Structure 1
């Protein structure tokens, strides 16, 4: 659950502040021009806009040029009524607002009585003629009707041009890298994208795609729609240089509605995978997803609710094919040079030998055989979303939304000895207040809390003699053991699927306050505001806290002669916090009826990461004898100004063709996500040791008596510039026939000050290969390794001076089907 003091802070600041602002678009707008039958503009026309779902209304007046503008309208279907004394009343129905859409609805009024009404049904235009954003809409119909593996809505993002899903084997889905679908959007790295829900940042603790440890995103029945903006988004969006995924949840309406569901997927129609033996049955698989959604009015036209629940229960059969000591090895016999000899089993490793199952597959003729099994990996997830919308008055509306998402996965190891549990919990809370100060001034204030948590832990899957398996004195923990080589290349990974950096966990909280103001003046639509975020990150990293003992071969195991014992001396806990401040200003101006210009500027910066206990440690130079404790790891630059401009032209004035160009600067803020892989490299915090014991028979180590290893060092660029991508695009859209559009685009970008992580303490060559008398002397003169700083092994550096280039041709065809398609 949320810490109580954090929740109080959010509510207190929300009530007292009108905001430090940002406008993350969760609304749309309707604009247009009113003329008479002769084509002359009509000022003073009353335009009434009615939301057909909730009954909420807003009224604006056309200016002296006949123009009207109604910004920041809630999403949904609208009826628009235009009235002026001496003219017939005109009504347009079927205008649907989607995220960020600026719907153009023009009126031509006929002379007559106001009581006479002319009604026209309208459809949403497919061609964008008012801005240069490269953005793609995924509406509720696509979300609900298209097949999704695991009902994970983020998969639909990969159907859009410029979005590329990183293959799972190339992405890092773990407690450090997060568990969401990794995507490159517009050529950016997966860590450089922004994920919003109702305008709130819902990125996980790694700063990447949200997702549970069950590798999915539930709750699609609560989602109204979302957009993927790949390039040249407005100054309302910041923090990242890649794309923006903006999800808007459903709200209750004046009509009660609800649904329930149950989806079942199993192995009945599955084929064997590559690793399944021919004589074995297909591994079991069963997935149940169930839940429902209900929403409706609490008070008609005033107060609405919506709630949804989704559960996931999955049992996935894994396939393992692992070498293990055979029956003769258990009895002490081992073939050496083709001749079986009695070796015996050392008493100190007898408990390890006893835990090996006997082979049930082919014999390898080297003292090992294959053990084939299909253990079950259970996954459980529960997702709850609740939302309340209140129309406080004609000018004020309030909504609150809370999401709770908890998942557990237990991955069994190859031999059924150990397993790894993954536990994750995501919570998102938000309040938003919108006030229509006047037809020209609208203010929106938001406050939110994003709290994500994840951990790994090792578990015993069977009775384990802990005391006999512990290799670290003073710790009542069964250790991991590995055979790293052996006869005929035998490799026995008896670590059994346990992640050695356990227990490892992250708790991240982001407290956010934002406000956004819209101001209309003539042909200009101004937006400005700012943002404040408080990042709290509490990582715990333990590497080899259980202890690991490595044997060079099966023979080494049987004789009790390890070649290495590894362990961590201390437990580690860090606590970082950072503040982010930002502001933006933007003007959308209609230069002519067919030409629209958007120009804006954004500025934001973050403070240096501060560690609560003064434990953060890094090397200031590769030559340092030791790390500096308690100093800022780095101090980011604050001169992060990002101008952006876009131009949209309707060359024929009929809304069927659009030519759009845009360019701008986009910057990534160095928030705690950039530190997610550094915790294991913090000297003084994660002290470890490596005890080399070739042939000594040492089977236990005392962490308190063994000196810390020369281990890994960490070095940061002291004053990094913010990673920046300069983007530009040109695209042409054309509605070729009714309901069908084609768009082609060139998209390019250049990245500067990008993060990369070189190793800066490599071996120093003493001669070039052409001059060396033998290959061994290249790095090992006199048999000694020569590093730049011999006090450390690897020194991982964090630099922000990388570069990138991206050029892309993108094409898209959109067809709006009818008759239920």
Structure 2
């Protein structure tokens, strides 16, 4: 790490002649003229921040043009002076984050000693830039009702922004706490996790989401920049979120706060009400403070903030557990909810080839089985391990309507805590030199029971997830002359996550389930119970998924800004280095998966219209569908990045401004510290070893049987590795085409009306982790020794008692070359990795209205190319697929396995003396699977109408009646190119479709506001009210949020066809969200092409209006001290948002039925106090 920092600092010194910064500070620009409209050259223009008395000064050029960049957001006084003219002072000029304020001034003839003062007069429409965005100023940030007080949750109120995370509560993914890290924001149709987040200009995003959310008391303001036609902003595929911290001032100011809630004030959840359970325990405190002031007046300013968070919160779980009546193996009387007949279970030991003509053979598969007598699995056929596992499921305690979710635990809790200190120091060296530095640190943890089961069957982060982030930033300004400023900054961000490896602290071991042996992984030796998955029911037992990761970013930026004539220019460069470390145990003690594969009548698929097969039956018999043990290595990845740009804001005349920019980025391919990476696939290298061993056997079998698949001429193809055999250490080819032009136009064709438009190209940060086959290995469970004719035995080797008697596949790194994982599956990234690029454009009309209101309407479009896709390369050719669709039994039939005895016995292709004919027809037959990832063939396109009606709060709030609001409405469509059949390359090419994305929300309406009730001392009514009357009637404030979004597009039922036209034709109810008639559905035949799109545009999930409301009362203790008491109600109307109906198997009991649980919080009421001085 020390060498990284030394290289970083050396590279930054080498950049001292060039510059780039992703700027959070504001710029004032304009033209100074006299009453005859003649320009006034060499006039002095000085901007002074009112709370610090720190100023920046420039002079107008020969055309009267001036620019003052690098101004911290805040309230300024601008003084303009020139000989022969009266001095003009423009006070209370509000500068917002990253704003370009056009401030034209007319000087009156007179003595320079005479002054003309104009208070608070500035444009509300943006006339200096085509960029678009919404600023959340200190009033909005600190006073809008904000559940969890996580500042970036305000982003969702901006036009063009969609927050598509719907699961709230204590799941840890709601984004409502500052502890959370959330990538669920899309901006202008960009992908989730493709935005850039800046904190005082320093990037705090390594993967398109924020690593830390500063507490609201420490934030000056932030801006959601939905269209940025300024070339200084980069590494985004959506938008940029630009945040600035508070600074100290010439007066000491601060606040102390505490926000508290418990269950007494909360509503109960819908799932608890449905099962007659009480509200869970709740206690939450969010506390802290901020203080800022001068160390030396006009020279040194300090700000310190701290926020702490402690929460015990209800996490009511609604899950599915096996019904008691089938836990002993008796299915004779069990009728699933919503069905009219019992489930039939079949004996896998009676499997035989299905050769007789008839429905049961042609529609089912290769093998057929006999039912268990009486539909009861005899005790002699049940596994001790399976019986032990099922005992740990809790008993059902809830009877749903046509639903499988039959266990509710209302007293389930989540536990969270974090601390976040922030410090910032601003120092003025002289009029020409100044710097600031800041440090942000956050540390938190969560404890969460995901399934709600009781120990030891629970899973989740029960031993504590830790998340920690620290950001250091240093910035230096040098005013070289009145028309040129140099700004340099460096930053370091380190984000760490530590997920636990177990829910029970390692106390519950596999022998307690009757398992005699699971091989130990040397790097993570333990005997914990494996994770168990039973299809249709919730998983049980611990995480066993130790994952320790860190993301670091070293960044340096330096810009030069200068004014020449009518041109305000910036130019320069940026350097960043991304470092990612990962250490993951995976499922080091194993994962067991049970499905219906062994209890169906046919092994390949379920019968249409017949309930055959049950996952509980497979569990009781001890017959796994699949399983594996992970044997993983750790990794340290590095990616350097350079960016260069030039930006020119050309003030053509007083009405027209052009923003012209050009940017070029270069991102090197990923490398690993010890070359522990797969670097592609060599399609042409002949595997001499396998060719010499298998071809004689294969050719002999083919000669004896004309129906036996023809042997290939040679066996070729395999993985190649970084730094081996002439392969570069970098696993991706450099994309040299990252050219990003930007152009914007702002034309003020009427005094209070402006037209703006722009176009730009953007390249986001590539965040692929790469493939590690060979260094991290899964040892799969081989479920059959005879090609799925019969399962493994119930006891002894290969049973649940000893699933991996041959031991584990040991990671061999790159030593085996193209033989790596032969007989199993391999994955690799395509070396040709062009960085995803977004083409973004907009056209806007903005009008300033009376009473400080602004109306804006925009058409916005975007098109992103080079989105990545994963395809399967080892499938059969298209001709074979077409033939297999006509005759699936022939292709699924078992034949003699030529690989047996040649490939490892613990790999799928080497485990059995027989193998399906299909496996021998694969184009790369020595691998069970060959997946190529990072194929740049995908695209996303977006079109939207975005409107904003904003009432700004101007002037002093003490006059009362102050009102501000933002009403935002977006009507849009977001589409992506996808494919219906990814397992076959040729069919992929033939079936490319355009479908709505999962983040598409056709309509998005948001309305937020803050209102000071105009009653009380200093306000419109009762301005002279006495202290007692003011204490009762004065100082009241209310604020609110109100929102509605269209529901999420529902996914199509994979593997099925819909035969009845429009699935919305039925009357929509909770138990029939769409057509549930089984006669309208038919299961796809084996090898049949999927006809339905992956998602429906017209069929959407549940949605509802959501609202929050807050009421506050301020008490003036002294002129300097005041106390604010707040009451906040989140989900004020207690309106539940429901989950999506199941859309998988039309014969399932919950198909088309809304789940019982709600996704959002029930109504929560929070009480808070804030003491300010």
TM-score (norm 2): 0.63
Residue 113 (structure 1) shift? 2.9
Is it true that 1:597 corresponds to 2:658 in the alignment?
yes
Written as runs of structure 1 = structure 2, the 5 A alignment for 1:90-101 is: 90-101=88-99
Bigger drift between 623-632 and 503-512 goes to 623-632
Partners of 1:598 and 1:363 in 2: CA distance: 60
TM-aligned CA distance change 1:556 to 1:389, over 3 Å = same
Q: What do the CA deviations read for 1:20-41 (whole angstroms, capped 9, x no partner)?
A: 6322112112223333334333
**Counterpart secondary structure, 1:282:** coil
CA contact (8 A) 2:98 2:242 kept: no
Residue 301 (structure 2) aligns with: 304
- Following superposition, the deviation at residue 627 of structure 1 comes to 1.6
The corresponding residue for 2:781 is: 690
CA shift in 2, pair 1:174/1:739, >3 Å: closer
Q: Distance in 1 between matches of 2:550 and 2:69?
A: 38
1:441 positional shift: 1.4
Q: What is the match of residue 1125 of structure 2?
A: none
- Partner Cα distance (1:777, 1:197) in 2: 62
1:105 pairs with 2:103: yes
> Which of 502, 521, 524 in structure 1 is aligned with 2:564?
521
Q: In structure 2, what is the equivalent of residue 651 of structure 1?
A: 749
Between stretches 78-87 and 775-784, larger displacement belongs to 775-784
Per mean C-alpha deviation after superposition, the further-off stretch among 75-84 and 163-172 is: 163-172
Identify the residue that residue 164 of structure 2 maps to in structure 1.
Answer: 166
Alpha-carbon contact 1:665-1:725 (below 8 Å) kept: yes
Match of 2:846 in 1: 733
Q: Which is worse superposed, 48-57 or 82-91?
A: 82-91
**Displacement of 1:135:** 2.2
User: What is the CA–CA distance in structure 2 between the aligned matches of 1:357 and 1:803, rounded to whole Å?
Assistant: 46
Alignment match, 1:224: 220
Stretches of structure 1 that go unaligned for 5 or more consecutive residues are 486-490
Q: Structure 1 residues 69 and 446, CA, compared in 2 at 3 Å: closer, same or farther?
A: same
Change (3 A) 1:95 1:369: closer
1:533-544 maps to which residues of 2 (within 5 A)? Answer: 533-544=576-587
Question: Does residue 742 in structure 1 map to residue 855 in structure 2?
Answer: yes
Counterpart secondary structure, 1:691:
coil
* Aligned counterpart, 2:546: 503
Aligned counterparts of 1:43 and 1:413: Cα–Cα separation in 2: 69
For residues 400 and 248 of structure 2, the distance between their equivalents in structure 1, rounded to whole angstroms, comes to 64
Question: Which of 749, 758, 763 is the equivalent residue of 1:667?
Answer: 763
2:312 maps to 315
Mapped partners of 1:316, 1:299: distance in 2? 45
Residues of 1 paired with 2:806 and 2:422: CA distance?
Answer: 49
SS class of match (1:127): coil
Secondary structure class of the residue paired with 1:274: helix
User: Would you say the 8 A contact 2:398–2:407 is kept in 1?
Assistant: yes
Native 8 Å contact 1:232 1:728 kept in 2: no
Deviation at 1:793, TM superposition (A): 2.4
Quick one: structure 1 residues 173 and 299, their matched pair in 2 at CA, closer, same or farther if it must change by over 3 Å? same
1:4-53: CA deviations, max 9, x gaps?
A: 77667767776786376322112112223333334333223222221112
Secondary structure in 1 matching 2:856: strand
Q: Secondary structure at the match of 2:148?
A: helix
CA distance in 2, matches of 1:48, 1:773: 82
Mark the CA change 1:785 to 1:284 in structure 2 (over 3 Å): closer, same or farther: farther
**Distance of 2:590 and 2:118 partners within structure 1:** 75
8 Å contact kept, 1:20–1:513: no
Task: Assess, with a 3 A threshold, how the Cα gap between structure 1 residues 166 and 776 changes in structure 2: closer, same or farther.
Answer: farther
TM-aligned CA distance change 1:184 to 1:395, over 3 Å:
same
1:618 CA drift (Å) = 4.5
- Structure 1 residues 557 and 124: alpha-carbon distance in aligned structure 2, compared to 1, 3 A threshold: same
Q: Deviations over 1:434-492 (max 9, x none)?
A: 1101112100001111111113223344852455456523343212253636xxxxx55
1:772 touches 1:778 (CA, 8 Å); kept in 2? no
Worse overlay, 377-386 or 275-284: 275-284
1:551-590 to structure 2, matched below 5 A, reads: 554=616, 562=624, 564-568=626-630, 570-590=631-651
State whether residues 92 and 121 of structure 1, in contact with CA within 8 Å, keep that contact through their aligned partners in structure 2. Answer: yes
Aligned-pair CA distance for 1:235: 0.4
Q: Deviations over 1:252-291 (max 9, x none)?
A: 1111111111112333331322365432212333332111
- Alpha-carbon distance, 1:209 to partner: 1.7
Please tell me whether Structure 1 or Structure 2 has the larger radius of gyration of its CA atoms: 2
Say which is worse superposed, 264-273 or 85-94, in terms of deviation: 264-273
Q: 1:467 to 1:664 in 2, by over 3 A?
A: same
Answering whether residue 525 of structure 2 is matched by residue 464 of structure 1, we say no
The farther-off stretch of 95-104 and 750-759 is: 750-759
Match of 1:258 among 254, 261, 274: 254
Q: 1:809 is matched with which residue: 938, 941, 945?
A: 945
**For 1:578, what is the secondary structure of its paired residue?**
strand
Q: Is the CA contact 1:276–1:319 (under 8 Å) kept in the aligned structure 2?
A: no
- 1:312: Cα distance to partner? 1.8
Matched residue count: 792
Question: What are the Cα deviations for residues 645-671 of structure 1, in whole angstroms up to 9, with x where unaligned?
Answer: 11111123x3x111112112222242x
Cα distance change on mapping 1:704 and 1:225 into 2, 3 Å: farther
Higher mean displacement: 577-586 or 721-730: 721-730
Partner of 1:488: none
The worse-fitting range, judged by mean Cα deviation, of 706-715 and 384-393 is 706-715
SS of residue matched to 1:187:
coil
Q: Could you tell me how far apart the structure 1 residues matched to 2:668 and 2:6 are?
A: 24
Q: Distance in 1 between matches of 2:152 and 2:585?
A: 32
Q: Report the CA distance between 1:579 and its aligned residue.
A: 0.8
8 Å Cα contact 1:766/1:781 also seen in 2: no
Q: Where does residue 1009 of structure 2 map in the other structure?
A: none
Deviation at residue 716 of structure 1 after TM alignment: 2.5
Residue deviations 1:379-400 (CA, integer Å, cap 9, x gap):
1121121111111111111111
Task: Indicate conservation of the 8 Å contact 1:232/1:727, yes or no.
Answer: no
- Give the deviation of 1:433 after TM superposition: 0.4
Residue 755 of structure 1 aligns with which residue?
868
Bigger fraction of residues in strand: 1
Check conservation: 2:679, 2:721, Cα contact below 8 A.
Answer: yes
**1:398 is aligned to 2:426:** no
Asked if the contact 1:343/1:558 (under 8 Å) is kept, the reply is no
Look up the match of 1:55.
Answer: 53
Instruction: After TM superposition, give the deviation of residue 130 of structure 1 in Å.
Output: 1.2
TM alignment of 1:150-189, pairs within 5 A: 150-168=148-166, 179-189=181-191
Give the 5 Å matches for 1:313-352. 313-322=310-319, 337=374, 352=389
Q: 1:468 to 1:802 in 2, by over 3 A?
A: same
Summarize the alignment of residues 718-797 of structure 1 with structure 2, pairs less than 5 Å apart. Answer: 718-762=831-875, 764=877, 774-777=887-890, 783-786=916-919, 787-790=922-925, 791-793=927-929, 795-797=931-933
Q: Is 1:640 aligned with 2:738?
A: yes
Give the equivalent residue in structure 2 for 1:477: 527
Whether the 8 Å CA contact 1:768–1:778 is kept in 2: the answer is no
CA distance in 2, matches of 1:73, 1:342: 79
Separation in 2, partners of 1:218, 1:43: 43
2:413 and 2:574 map into 1 onto residues whose CA distance is: 46
